[in-house]
Every structure is written in C-alpha cells, then in structure tokens.
Structure 1
C-alpha cells in the first residue's frame, strides 16, 4: 500500500539556524491521499513531532522511534547518512503498521505542503507541553500497583535486553576501533611499499612491489567498507532496538495513564451515586425531579464503563504489540546479521583473490627469470 523513501539530505539556512531537510517521497494507493505519488520536505524536528503525536494518538501502540537528538557533529556526512537511514526505517515501519498507517496525523505528515505553518499553529494552541511531558505528569499522582504478572515479567525482560544491547554496542565499538587501526596500518604499509617500488630497484622487483602496494590498497578499501557496514548494519539495528525499548515502556506508561483515568471515573461514579442517593433519602423527591438525578447517574456509570473498557483494550493491545515487537526483533537482527556476514565473506574472498593473483604473478615472474638464458 505504501512505498516511502527518506532521501536527499540537504543543509539549509544560515549558520545560526542551519538544519538538514530530507525529501520524503510517497507512492501509495491509500484512499485517504489526494494523489498516488508526491514528495515533501521535512526536517528532523518534524519527524520528532510525528513520533510524539503518534504516541499520543495511539495508547498501547509501540510507535517506531526516531533517532536521538545530538548537539555536535550533526552536519558531518557519516552522521547525516546514518540519521537518514534511521528515519527511513522509522517511516517504513510506521507505514507497515495497520493502525499507524491510517492515523490522520501520519497522512498529514506525508502529504501537507504547508506543514511547517500548520505545526506552528498547533503548537501555539497546545498548552500541554507535548504528550511525553504530559504523560509523565499524569502518572506521577497516585501509585500504580501492577496486578498483571505478565507486565512485571516483561519490564524485567526489557531491562535485561536493554543492558545486553548496550553491551553489544560497546563490543561493536571496540571491534570498529580495532578495524580503524588495521585500516590505518594497511594504508601506511601500502604507501611505504609504493614508495619503495618507485626507488632504484630492479625492474622485476619494482613491478612486484607496485602490485603488492595495489593489493594492500584494495585491502584497505575493503576494510574501510566493512567498517561502514559495522555501523550501518549492526550498530544501526542495535541502536534502533534500544530506542524501541523506550517506545515499549511508553506504551506501558500509556496503559498506566488509562488505569488512573479508570480509577478517577470510578471515584466520580461513586461520588455522584452516593450524593444522589443521599438526596433521595433526605428529601421527598417527586418522580419528575428524579429524572435528572437518574440521568446523571447513568452518565457517570457509562463514563466509568468506557474507562474500564479502554484500560482493558490498551492492556490487550500492549500484549499484542510486544508479541509483534519480538517477531520483528528476531527478523530484523537475522536480516542484519545475514547482510553483515554476506558482506564480510564477499570482502574476505576479494582479498583472498587479490593475494592469490599476486602469488601467481610472483611464481610466473620467477619461472620466467629461471628460463632466461645465461651469458656465454
């Protein structure tokens, strides 16, 4: 139904207000859109607005997260590309979610040509300070006592999983550091051999050195390419799921918010019922006067029932969303590891082929020297 890409990052604005804008291109047959193909420009803060809005609109849903804000290095080429990839994956996952793909604010984000102006108006009208801030304040009142053992187990599991993923990030960073050292050493070795080949050596030895320098330069380029894959395929996936764990916790917190709302409506129901029953007991109330009292009781009863139904619905939704999170986590890590290993094997084979070719060249050169006639 959707084909969405986030691409073509461009730096715009003066040095003080400079930022990166991305072209978000959408192709869809979704009936809610006016066109089947269109493109819009969006900056990082727009993606962040979308994330917070979808979290607010969809309690219990694990909304795919955007990458974190950074203060330094946000215009460096490697960072811009890694952020673009993360934003692209985020938008694609939202589009693949049955409920989020139909959210009116998601449609608005993809389609609006006056997005920046409309967002300014929305923010000016809002006095809540954003959903994530309001969520924190809304659950800081009465203490929430978990009655469902499933949630306690999942919270412990998420803490353990996050710790394991952060340890994996450190391990990948250590490997990346070692690979950087190998890249630097390989380049220095290639440069030294190339300089030696250009010195006053025999033609045979000079040619051999020149080819060796080329082999080492190719190895350096392959190591460099592998280092980028370490970041894009492995670190990118691990970082995404560390952020997703935060989104899972937000979904759980939205359930807590609906629980407190349910308790508030239940308290209001009891208050209204007790107050009206007291009026009826203490005073003589005719049938006509009882109608508004009965209507008020029915309204608070209905509101309390709706709040309870909402809590139960969000509870079921959280459990279903965690199951989906687990399936996608296994699949995403499997795909990332397969791509990583395929790339590593391909590059290792290329290095082996280069060394094999160099060895054959040396053997051939040695045979030709042995066959050369000696002077009489």
Structure 2
C-alpha cells in the first residue's frame, strides 16, 4: 500500500474509498450476469489484470478423500506472475525510492491428492506437488513430486536459515497440529478427518506459492530441489523433540530475551514508522480473524438449526390432514433444506476466503517482524565490534605508554582485525536495511492484491447466496397463498 508520499499508518478516508471501490466492483459484476438456481459454481474473482500487472489465480477444488462426495468451496490461491510487466510499487523514504518490479518468468504450484500412507501412529499424509514454470533454472517446465508434511517444514527451515538473517522475508510454514494428526493416524477412514486434511492441503499450497512469488527464494537451490527431486531425503530435524528442535527452542528463548534487554536507538524514521504500522496491523488482523471465525461458527450452527427445522416441518406435513396445508409444509421443508445448504456454503466461504487469508497474513507479519529483529541483531553486532575496537586501541595506547614493545605488534594486529569487523558490520547493517525496505514494500504490494481479490470474491459469493435465497422464497410463496 505504498504511495509517493508517506501517509499515516491508517487513513480513514483512504480505507473508505477502497471499500467503496470494492463494493462498486462487485455490484457491477453482479449486474452483468445472473446466477442460476441450480448452479453450484462460484463467482469468478475480480479481474485485477492490467497492461502493467497480471495476477494468476489458479482454482483448486478440494479433492474427495472418500468414495462419498465431500463438497468443499473452491480455494483460490493468489500468485503473482508476469509475462513482460513493468509495474512497480514505490515507497518514499528519507534515502531513496523503493521499487518492486516483477520479472518476466512465472511459476504456479498446486498441492493435490492428499492420501494416507501407513497405519497407526507411524502413518502420515502424502501430497502430490505439481509445478508449472517458465523459469530457466528448473529442469523441466512441468514437474510432479510426492511430499509429506515434514518435507514442507524442512524446506521452510532451510530457507529461513539461509535468508532471514539477510533481511529476506520467508513465508511461515503451516503450523503443526498434534491433535489433528492424531485423529488422522488413529482413524481407519479418511472421511472422519477430511476437513482437517483439506485445510492443511490448502495451507501448504499457499505456502509454496507465496514462497515462489519471491525472486530470491524461488531460485534457491534447496527450493528447486524440493520441487524437482523425486527421492528427497526425509527431513528429520523438524520434530520438536529432535536435537535441531531443541536448539531452535533455545534460540527462540534467546531472541525473546534479547528483545527485552536490548533496545536499538532507531535513527531512521521510516523504520520506526513501519514497525509501528506492522504492530498495529498485527493487532487488528488478530481481532478480525477471531470475529470471522466466530461468524463462520455461527453460520454452521444456523445451518444445523435450519436442517432441524426442515425435518420438523416435513414430519408435520406428513401427519397434517388438510391437503393444501400438508403440501405447503412439505414445500417449506424442501425450501429450508436448500437454505441449509446455502448457510453451509457461506460458512465455508467465511472460513476459506476470509479467515484463512487473514491467518496467512498474521503469519506473514510474524515473518516481517523477524527480519526487523535481524536488523536489530546486526546493528548490535556492529556496535559491539566498535566497542571492542575502542578497547583494543586503548590497550595499545597503554602498551605504548608502558613501553611494552613486545606486545604492540600483536595489539596492532588485533586492531586491524577488529577494524575489518567494524567495517563488515557497517556494510552488513546497510545491506540488511536495504533488503528490509524492499521486503516491506513487497509485502505491502501483495497484501493489497490479495485482500482486494479475496474480498471481491467473498462479496460476489455472498450476493450469489442471497439471490438464491430470495428465489427459493419466491418459489415457495405461491404454495403458501394457495392454502384454502
């Protein structure tokens, strides 16, 4: 959401204007087409493509994990891909302008066909990862590999270790769920855990596509190997009880203590403003996520209550002696059954279109905070090197004063060594500061794109359901009036 002038973190007028544009866009789309009553397809997302920017939104339908049909909403994964675009997003700061440019290559990743492998507590879910790309670094344009959940955690760990300390934002991997996987492992049929498996599949797909959006991460050898190599070695360091897991836990505790004990004297207003904005955005998104999850839960409860009402109306119609009233009650039951499905579909839209998007961005904000902290750590190392250099120079001065000529040469070598460390620390701090600026600009650019696409998609689906609801009641009304 970067402009040529640095606005306050949140501008009420701008938000109101954006909201009006979204609603206007959605309404115009509704005027252009009529949704049939028997249509199960969802509305298409807003077309945000222009001559300067192309957004590819592959539509992934939830696979049926059992022989019975399990209806799920289509999950749209927003991925940036360009064919020759020159669009750029700028943020004005005290040093220079930040430019985010798309390159000429594209990559689309789909995670499909989740299936259970093995039995008991040793069982796991395997996923098929399909990749289509025009990036020359990849061996083929189309790739297919089988991966398990620990492999996804492994590639995230590798990317984070290599790039986060440089100021590169690595999208967070999906969280582990001990309870969810225990149910999967102990269940004899996959139908009992189909919803959990589908949620995880969709989150893994979004993780890979967000990673592939980044021009640095998608060219990383480990990431290419993850998408290309069929016999990928199993990642054993992702377990919380492994040696690497314990080390990661200690590092997290150390970082938490360092955040409390060390406060950086920020001299750059841009960084100070962005950190405040990111913190405020994090708080508000968490509140919104809680509200949307509550909304989805209430819609599911409404769906259950509507089904109960339909059943009661049908039973009453069966015992009613009056022919007209009996027929009307039966029609009312059928109408309520249709409305029950509408409530269920809308609850899925609430979750998959809004709640999951918000959850993804809460995790992404955590990744943005991580690179801010890495910048602070780099600054601390630089200043500690300067302090050590000062002490080495003072030590040399004392040796010269006391005429200890035999130790002066060693002291001078130490000064030369620490002078190089100070210079390197300064260079590292400048580099990571520049990278963080670019990463924040990239984050803001795709945040606007993702939220616009998903909000428009959500509004179109909501209006589809409302139009169907009206038509259902319009079809029932003559039956009610016909009672004599």
TM-score w.r.t. length of structure 2: 0.65
> Rg: which structure is higher?
1
Identify the residue that residue 82 of structure 1 maps to in structure 2.
199
Structure 1 residues 295 and 279 mapped into 2: Cα distance closer, same or farther (>3 Å)? Answer: same
The residue aligned with 1:327 is 445
Of 302, 309, 326, 1:189 maps to 309
**Quick check: 1:25 aligned with 2:143?**
no
Distance 1:102 1:279, change over 3 A: farther
Counterpart in the other structure of 2:86? none
Deviations 1:213-257 (A, max 9, x none): 111100000100000111111110111111111111111122123
User: Is the CA contact 1:61–1:251 (under 8 Å) kept in the aligned structure 2?
Assistant: yes
SS of corresponding position for 1:115: coil
Aligned to 1:306: 424
Q: Distance in 1 between matches of 2:144 and 2:395?
A: 58
Distance (whole Å) between structure 2 residues aligned to residue 132 and residue 105 of structure 1:
23
Distance 1:154 1:325 in 2: 12
CA RMSD of aligned residues (A): 3.3
Post-superposition shift, 1:203?
Answer: 4.1
Partner of 1:223: 343
Aligned to 1:347: 465
- 2:283 corresponds, among 163, 181, 202, to 163
1:52–1:130 CA contact under 8 A, matched in 2:
no
User: Does 1:66 pair with 2:185?
Assistant: no
CA shift for structure 1 position 316: 1.6
Match of 1:255 in 2: 375
TM-aligned CA distance change 1:103 to 1:269, over 3 Å: farther
Matched residue SS, 1:63: coil
Structure 1 residues 147 and 10, CA gap change in structure 2 (3 angstroms): same
- Alignment deviations for residues 259-296 of structure 1 (CA, whole Å, 9 cap, x no partner): 233335445655666777888995889xxxx8x99888
Structure with a larger share of its residues in helix: 1
With over 3 angstroms needed to count, the CA separation of the structure-2 counterparts of 1:273 and 1:131, relative to structure 1, is: farther
Distance across 2 between alignment mates of 1:29 and 1:40:
18
3-state DSSP class of the match of 2:332? helix
Unaligned runs of 5+ in 1: 370-376
Does the alignment pair 1:14 with 2:119? yes
TM-score normalised over the length of structure 1: 0.82
| Distance in 1 between residues matched to 2:385 and 2:223, nearest whole Å | 31
Gaps of 5+ in 2: 1-105, 185-192
Q: Distance in 2 between matches of 1:174 and 1:134?
A: 35
Q: Which residue of 2 aligns with 1:147?
A: 266
Partner of 1:374: none
Deviation, structure 1 residue 11: 2.1
Q: Distance in 2 between matches of 1:233 and 1:68?
A: 19
Deviates more, 1:168-177 or 1:83-92: 168-177
